[in-house]
Structure 1
Amino acid sequence: MDRQAVYEDYERTRRTFHQLLDSASTADLARPTRGTKWTNGQLLWHMLFGYIVVRALLVLVRVFGRLPRGVGKAFARLLNAGTVPFDWVNYAGPLGAVKVFGPRRMAVAFDRVLDSLQRRLAAESDADLARGMHYPVRWDPFFKDFMTLADIYRYPTQHFDFHHRQLTLDSDDGRGGKPEVS
């Protein structure tokens, strides 16, 4: 795993997230996104949550990565069976979260979670990064059947970049292209 590349991706998304929040008006944040039922503000929260959830995923890999693969596979099947309630919670979470977390609090939370992930990644051994488990592939298009800890550290940036393209923060009518931020 190229840790430096992961750090650089985290820093790129940090800059992008701050730029998006700093340049967005209240009206921009309330505008619908492209391809989701969320507003820009709600989708930004969901993008942040993609990094927050990684902390829980890291714990799961540490536990299930030490168990026989059949246990993890059964757990993934159980989670896949719960896709409908997961989808509902995944959708509803940002609806309420943006009422509690405004842009400033989202920016602070983003920085904290990235700092935490960077510290954790620096402390991981190569053996830990190679450990993995089965995942519920129906929950997220970036989940693979089997993912290593290294894959989990890369996951939130894939999730972020995908949703970044759905934001309409640079468009007066809500249908414009993605902002060019690097």
Structure 2
Amino acid sequence: MANADPMDRQGVYEDYERARQTFHHLLDTASQDDLARPTRGTKWTNEQLLWHMLFGYMVVRALLVLVRVFSRLPRRVSMVFARVLNAATVPFDLINYLGPCGAVKVYGPRRMGAAFDRVTGSLQRHLAAESEAGLARGMHYPVRWDPFFKDFMTLADVYRYPTQHFDFHRRQLTLGGSGEDIS
């Protein structure tokens, strides 16, 4: 199931940097009215969705630990774990929705930008230290939790995940004076 080709680390680094620059541009050019505006296809405001986009990178740090642990166990263990998480999709969806609603009260745009810099820098450093064998290790995931989760994901897949998540949600933002995209 794992990809035998070496991972394009430089491509991942470039994707992280593109997302980081885009995130800062969105934060730097958005007015308070822009941030408070509803998004396209979600129940969040733009500010809440921006937080969720940041959180997609933050959660990868925990996913890396899970892959390292579960990939050392029999594969059926992560399969059962993924099934249990899939069964808990309804409470997960509620927590996933409410998290950004509360987080934006603590993190303003400036803190979100600094957090994005820290987390992408951390992920780049971790990726640089990974062996090819380590990147090929994987586990099963709860596919009902996220459209970018596959049934089985390698560590390399997990490093690519947050930018896929970011790009998907970027299209749902309604920043700019008329609700049109600004970048």
TM-score range, shorter chain: over 0.9
User: Which digits, 9 at most, give the CA deviation of each residue in 1:111-145, with x for residues without a partner?
Assistant: 00001000000000000000000000000000000
Distance 1:171 1:51 in 2: 28
Amino acid at match of 2:90: V
TM-superposed deviation, 1:170: 2.3
User: 1:63 — aligned with what?
Assistant: 69
Question: 2:48 corresponds to which letter in structure 1?
Answer: Q
Identical amino acids, percent of aligned pairs: 79
Whether 1:179 aligns to 2:182 is yes
Aligned equivalent of 2:125: 119
Structure 2 stretches lacking a partner, 5+ long = 1-6
2:99 alignment partner AA = G
* Residue 149 of structure 2 is aligned to residue 143 of structure 1: yes
Report what 2:3 is aligned to: none
Q: Which of 1, 16, 39 is the equivalent residue of 1:10? A: 16
Question: Could you say which residue in structure 1 is the equivalent of 2:92?
Answer: 86
Corresponding pairs, count: 177
**Structure 2 letter corresponding to 1:12:** R
Q: Give how far 1:171 is off.
A: 4.3
TM (norm. structure 1) is 0.96
Separation of aligned partners in 2, 1:145 and 1:170: 37
- Cα deviation per residue 1:64-101 (whole Å; 9 max; x = unaligned)? 01110000100000000100010000000000000100
Q: Which residue is equivalent to 1:158?
A: 164
Question: What TM-score does the superposition give when structure 2 sets the normalisation length?
Answer: 0.95
Note the C-alpha offset of 1:179: 3.0
Instruction: Classify the secondary structure of the residue corresponding to 2:43.
Output: coil
Where does the alignment leave 5 or more consecutive residues of structure 1 unmatched?
none
Match of 1:101 in 2: 107
Tell me the amino acid that sits aligned with residue 75 of structure 2. Answer: R
Q: Following TM superposition, where does structure 1 have runs of at least 4 consecutive aligned residues deviating by more than 4 angstroms?
A: none
